[in-house]
Amino acid sequence: MSTSPHLDLDALIADRGIGVVVCCGAGGVGKTTTAAALGLRAAEAGRRVVVLTIDPARRLAQALGLTELDNTPRPVAGLTSGATGSLDAMMLDMKRTFDEVVEAHADPEKAAQILANPFYQAVSSSFAGTQEYMAMEKLGQLRAQAERDGTWDLIVVDTPPSRSALDFLDAPKRLGSFLDGRFIRLLAAPAKAGGRAYLKVFSVGVDLAARTLSKVLGGQMLTDVQTFVAALDTMFGGFRERADVTYALLKEESTAFLVVASPERDALREAAYFVERLAAESMPLAGLIVNRLTTVSATTLSAARALAAAEQLEEHESGASVTAALTGDLLRLHEDLAATANRQRAHVSRFEAAHPRVPSTTVPARATDVHDLAGLRAVGAALGRATA
């Protein structure tokens, strides 16, 4: 029996003081489904919800009955009759969000120059950490819109399916390192001094890199880089400050982090990493959801007795009847399920013993995959009545 505090998810989503719920966890543990189910349950309980997924798997759109998800929140139809809330869903488009930053912080002519710049296009599409930067930016945008227009009162964030799910916590620091780095300062200083100074300093500091990049990008490379660097202040005007504000938002009592895991050793090891990282960052951890737990009735046979009965039946009834064969198969199936349930419970118990102050809850495994609102609603109901 668990001794950990119970995680009451219905109380969490009903708490009007909670404005952001961040679901994080390893891949394949049902995190996206959990986020969508919580969003749907909250909406049907009266909250105005937007679900933001950073996971590009597109499973969220399918489950919500949408043909696609993109960088614009889309309303989800089909809430239960009488529901007073609303539900929107969207998927982070890293490139589009970066473009929005440019468009919001540059005049139209300057923005057009930046968006057409090949160096900018490369950075905005593939620069390491861009996804995390833009996730922080988009969350900040949604929160600002919610406060300004009252569009939503709950934002549910579904993070990437890996340890990088928490990399956005480092976004302000990593962005600052990028903007303050020696290479960027080398490029930025001559850009402010003028073309001749730019070429002189650039050739002294990164002459070899310039020659190499020129072969790849052609003669426009220096001009493209110069334009990009000269626009840095415009592109990132206030971005670092906004990222810091969003980071501070994540530490507020109005935010709740949920760590989602499956009841297996590796997934719970990842969950322990998330719990410890959140604690190190002083982030508000609401608790752990152990998803897809195999359950068997307490009144049924134990795994050992089921196996013994199957072996005895096979020994005495071998070839006697189809019924005997089917009974033996069922006993072995039950033995396998009971053994799996015992193993999973042991893994969960070890996690709880190592983290006794982390509220937790378990959700039974479903017989079928979730592919529509009815399935999400059933998952939400299971989350609402889940027990530790």
Q: Does any domain span residue 320?
A: no
- Can you give the pLDDT at residue 272? 95
- Can you give the pLDDT at residue 319? 54
- Is the pLDDT higher at 306 or at 54? 54
Q: Does any domain span residue 355?
A: yes
Q: Does any domain span residue 323?
A: no
- Can you give the pLDDT at residue 247? 86
pTM: 0.81
- Can you give the pLDDT at residue 321? 63
* Across 199-208, 276-285, 322-331, least confident range: 199-208
Q: Does any domain span residue 215?
A: no
- Which range of 85-99, 346-360, 367-381 scores highest in mean pLDDT? It is 346-360
pLDDT digits over 1-38, tens only?
456 799 999 999 999 999 999 999 888 898 889 999 99
Q: In this model, does residue 216 exceed pLDDT 70?
A: no
Q: Does any domain span residue 115?
A: no
Q: In this model, does residue 192 exceed pLDDT 80?
A: no
- Which range of 124-133, 207-216, 337-346 scores highest in mean pLDDT? It is 337-346
Our count of domains for the chain comes to 1
Q: In this model, does residue 189 exceed pLDDT 60?
A: no
Q: Does any domain span residue 203?
A: no
Q: Does any domain span residue 140?
A: yes
- Can you give the pLDDT at residue 166? 72
* Across 24-33, 101-110, 126-135, 320-329, least confident range: 320-329
Kindly give, in sequence order, each residue whose CB lies less than 8 Å from that of residue 64, ignoring residues fewer than 6 positions away.
36, 40, 76, 87, 89, 373, 376
**Mean pLDDT, the chain, integer:** 79
Q: In this model, does residue 199 exceed pLDDT 50?
A: no
Q: Does any domain span residue 303?
A: no
Contact (Cβ atoms closer than 8 angstroms) between residue 186 and residue 46:
no
Q: In this model, does residue 176 exceed pLDDT 80?
A: no
The domain of 77 spans: 9-106+129-168+246-296+344-384
* Across 51-55, 169-173, 203-207, 374-378, least confident range: 203-207
- Can you give the pLDDT at residue 185? 54
CATH number at residue 147: 3.40.50.300
pLDDT digits over 277-324, tens only?
999 999 999 999 999 998 776 556 665 665 666 566 666 655 556 566
Q: In this model, does residue 388 exceed pLDDT 60?
A: no
When pLDDT is cut at 50, 70 and 90, the band that residue 210 belongs to is: low
Q: In this model, does residue 348 exceed pLDDT 70?
A: yes
